[in-house]
Structure 1
């Protein structure tokens, strides 16, 4: 039986869809004031970037790219928008959220807990004093996949490489090439779902000869990846491209955008789950110390949860 495991952690909320003891989907929602997908906000058009098609809007606390433009709208006009894609961090910059015009009343976007509750799958809230159900299902292994990009599958290994243009998967392994490529296709489809990867995705399979084997690879993608998505055929060089809707940051992007923050929140989770008496002093890297100093309420929350005077010391 499938169920969602949910944790309201310090600095982040976590959820995993678990089937037969294995994590099928892993999701993290950071503590943030940024608008979520579905948020409806009053805004103002401050720049028309593509005449008749696209503009930049500001709202309380941020800005977004708007498309399409309402007919006849002029620069400086007030309007209501809906966030359709959240901000995406990229090396050296943050890609602004995307928005569309809306006639709905202002409202916040749904939280991670609200989204998984609406899925119809049972949700089990996990508490720090309980056995670690997330870890038992492989939570740390999934986070390690996201950070390193190394994903093992029977007979081979995937290397997942997020880039600003697309997420790339490279296939390596041994044995008959067709069997390897089909097994890799199943693993790629599962990884895309597990890590919530959207946008453009490229997969470099081993080169196989003949139309039949290439169709078998594509069929494995189709069987493992839920609609909607579009894909190309496998070309003669073994490359296949997939395009999926992209509305939120994928798990690998989220963790890699701020590895020190991810490590700090993981440490806080470990502290929360340490049986009493909890050691008060914890040694951290300089980068983690900087993150923790910028979020003093995280330390306070850990102290309340454990009853210890939690302190951090940089190595």
Structure 2
């Protein structure tokens, strides 16, 4: 039976769904981000469709409007999409008027909280670093080919390359794409560019392979004559690809995960952007020093690549 494992780390929490020793779904939660499914007291700032509500210091867009409520009315909203990191800061988090029945999404359950740090790194043993590499590189390999994933403002695009015959490559890629979409937590609009296969029956086989491997809910088009299929699935939080697009924060938090699994005085040599990110969060550095039982020194090393820090 699949099991959720949760790890509370420095600067982020991590949750993975594991089945037969493989991570089949993963998410990263950052501090200060209001989780999807949270109910908040709010005040309506703008009517119409979409409406706009204020909850504390944050504004939430209500794509379906606010019904008969008038501007200034108090209401309870449910967060339906968390704040998505990235360059489009104007995109507000999304919400809807709360259903009297309560939130539509509960936390992952059943879940087992991992001891962290621990002598045995269970998450790493399941391939956590490999998953992060897929997110940062956008490359997911499968027998006979690979997927290349790209973020765009409109959708996540998945390109297929490989050496198998076109139909075999397309079917294998459909299964691999479905697994990658789930593993990396990709939601919203997704486009997959398969190798061109001839005939409607063959295109239906490719779509069926995707349907078999990707759990509902989602909606999709057929594979068109050029090999393109579009699907849409719920987008409630940032995908690992979107987290990785913030390279400094993504790599710095991964570095903290490595650094906390040790003891004593520590010197971190890292790309200047990583050092700057850490220097602007002295609370995390102080917590790291307390957990290690020794002082932590940062050294900017421009010659190092952004994901290749040295710990000594």
- TM exceeds 0.5? yes
Per-residue CA distance 1:86-143 (angstroms, 9 max, x = gap): 12234242521111112659x9998xxx722x2x3x5251421321121121111111
CA shift, 1:8, in A, is 0.7
Per-residue CA distance 1:258-292 (angstroms, 9 max, x = gap): 21111111111111112x4x342212222112211
1:45 aligns with 2:44: yes
Residues 270 and 109 of structure 1: is their aligned pair in 2 closer, same or farther, counting only changes over 3 Å? farther
What is the CA–CA distance in structure 2 between the aligned matches of 1:201 and 1:70, rounded to whole Å?
Answer: 29
What is the CA–CA distance in structure 2 between the aligned matches of 1:80 and 1:193, rounded to whole Å?
Answer: 31
2:271 to 273, 285, 289: 285
Residues 94 and 18 of structure 1: is their aligned pair in 2 closer, same or farther, counting only changes over 3 Å? farther
Residue 193 of structure 1 corresponds to 182
Per-residue CA distance 1:217-269 (angstroms, 9 max, x = gap): 0110010000111111111100111111111111111221x211111111111
- The count of corresponding residues between Structure 1 and Structure 2 is 301
What is the CA–CA distance in structure 2 between the aligned matches of 1:2 and 1:254, rounded to whole Å?
Answer: 24
What is the CA–CA distance in structure 2 between the aligned matches of 1:37 and 1:90, rounded to whole Å?
Answer: 18
CA shift, 1:176, in A, is 1.1
What is the CA–CA distance in structure 1 between the aligned matches of 2:181 and 2:169, rounded to whole Å?
Answer: 18
CA shift, 1:18, in A, is 2.2
The runs of 5 or more residues in structure 2 that have no matched partner are: 302-312
Residue 9 of structure 1 corresponds to 9
What is the CA–CA distance in structure 1 between the aligned matches of 2:124 and 2:252, rounded to whole Å?
Answer: 17
SS at match of 1:159: strand
1:115 aligns with 2:107: yes
1:250 aligns with 2:230: no
Moved more, 223-232 or 67-76: 67-76
List 4+ stretches of structure 1 deviating above 4 A.
Answer: 107-110
1:298 aligns with 2:284: yes
What is the CA–CA distance in structure 2 between the aligned matches of 1:241 and 1:108, rounded to whole Å?
Answer: 29
Residue 268 of structure 1 corresponds to 256
Residue 64 of structure 1 corresponds to 60
Q: What CA RMSD, in Å, does the superposition of the two structures yield over aligned residues?
A: 2.1
Residue 72 of structure 2 corresponds to 76
What is the CA–CA distance in structure 2 between the aligned matches of 1:145 and 1:62, rounded to whole Å?
Answer: 32
What is the CA–CA distance in structure 1 between the aligned matches of 2:104 and 2:90, rounded to whole Å?
Answer: 20
What is the CA–CA distance in structure 2 between the aligned matches of 1:263 and 1:294, rounded to whole Å?
Answer: 15
What is the CA–CA distance in structure 1 between the aligned matches of 2:90 and 2:50, rounded to whole Å?
Answer: 18
What is the CA–CA distance in structure 2 between the aligned matches of 1:253 and 1:72, rounded to whole Å?
Answer: 36
Residue 167 of structure 1 corresponds to 156
What is the CA–CA distance in structure 1 between the aligned matches of 2:115 and 2:176, rounded to whole Å?
Answer: 28
- The normalised TM-score by structure 2 is 0.90
- The normalised TM-score by structure 1 is 0.89
CA shift, 1:20, in A, is 2.5
Residues 94 and 291 of structure 1: is their aligned pair in 2 closer, same or farther, counting only changes over 3 Å? farther
What is the CA–CA distance in structure 2 between the aligned matches of 1:5 and 1:89, rounded to whole Å?
Answer: 24
The runs of 5 or more residues in structure 1 that have no matched partner are: none
1:237 aligns with 2:226: yes
SS at match of 1:95: coil
What is the CA–CA distance in structure 2 between the aligned matches of 1:157 and 1:94, rounded to whole Å?
Answer: 34
What is the CA–CA distance in structure 2 between the aligned matches of 1:254 and 1:25, rounded to whole Å?
Answer: 15
Cα pair 2:37 2:104 within 8 Å, conserved: yes
What is the CA–CA distance in structure 2 between the aligned matches of 1:90 and 1:35, rounded to whole Å?
Answer: 17
Moved more, 285-294 or 122-131: 122-131
